[in-house]
C-alpha cells in the first residue's frame, strides 16, 4: 500500500456513513477489488480504531458485498484475477506478429470528400478547417465512410442496412 493509497483509504474510512464519526483509524491492510462493469465495492480494508480498537473487516462502498462475505468474495475475485491474467497473456501471445494497426478513414462533413489516414488540417477539396469528422471505420473496410454514415442514419431510424 502506497502512502497515497493509505491517505485515500483513511479519508474514505473517516467519511464512511457506516463507521463511527470522529474516530481515528489505522489501516492494517488494504486491497483493491477489481470488477468488470461494476463501479462499487472497490476496496477491502482491515482497520482498527485507535488507540485500542480490535481489527475489523470493511468493504468500502459496501453496495454488493457484505462484510460477512468479504473473505469469500476476495477468494472469488482472486480466481477471476488469475483467469483474467491468463486470458491477457494468451491474448498478447495470439495478437503478437499481427500486421500494424490499420489506417482510419475520414470524411469532410462540409463537402463529403473522403480520404484515408490521419485527418488533414484543411480539406483538400473545399478548404474547410472545422468540418472534419473521423468515422469509426478503417481505411481497408469495404464500406466507405459515407456508406457507413448512411447506415448509421438508417440504424438510428430503425431502417435496415442498404
Interface residues with Zn ion (CB under 5 A)? 108, 110-111, 113, 123, 125-126, 128
Give every CB contact of residue 151 below 8 A, 6+ residues apart in sequence: 143, 161, 162
Q: Closer to Zn ion by CB, 18 or 129: give it.
A: 129
Residue 75 beta carbon to Zn ion: minimum distance, rounded to whole angstroms: 58
- Whichever of 110 and 143 has its CB closer to Zn ion, that residue is 110
Output the 3-class SS for 22-78: CCEEEEEEEEECCCCCCCCCCEEEEEEEECCCCCEEEEECCCCCCHHHHHHHHHHHH
Minimum distance, C-beta of residue 141 to Zn ion, in the bound complex (Å)? 21
Taking the complex as a whole, the smallest distance from the CB of residue 102 to Zn ion amounts, in Å, to 23
- The smaller minimum CB distance to Zn ion, of residues 57 and 110, is found at 110
Neighbouring CB atoms inside 10 A of 31's CB total 13
Amino acid at each position: 500500500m502506497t502512502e497515497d493509497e493509505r491517505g485515500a483509504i483513511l479519508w474514505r474510512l473517516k467519511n464512511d456513513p457506516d463507521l463511527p464519526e470522529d474516530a481515528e483509524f489505522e489501516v492494517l491492510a488494504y486491497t483493491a477489488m477489481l470488477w468488470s462493469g461494476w463501479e462499487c465495492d472497490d476496496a477491502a480494508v482491515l482497520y482498527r480504531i485507535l488507540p485500542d480498537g480490535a481489527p475489523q473487516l470493511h468493504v468500502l462502498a459496501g453496495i454488493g458485498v457484505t462484510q460477512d462475505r468479504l473473505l469469500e468474495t476476495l477468494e472469488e475475485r482472486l480466481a477471476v484475477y488469475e483467469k483474467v491474467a491468463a486470458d491477457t497473456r494468451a491474448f498478447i501471445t495470439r495478437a503478437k506478429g499481427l500486421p500494424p494497426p490499420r489506417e482510419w478513414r475520414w470524411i469532410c462533413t462540409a463537402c463529403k470528400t473522403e480520404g484515408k489516414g490521419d485527418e488533414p488540417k484543411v480539406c483538400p477539396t473545399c478548404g474547410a478547417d472545422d468540418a472534419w469528422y473521423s468515422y469509426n471505420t478503417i481505411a481497408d473496410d469495404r464500406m466507405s465512410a459515407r456508406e457507413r454514415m448512411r447506415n448509421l442514419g438508417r440504424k438510428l431510424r430503425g431502417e435496415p442496412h442498404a
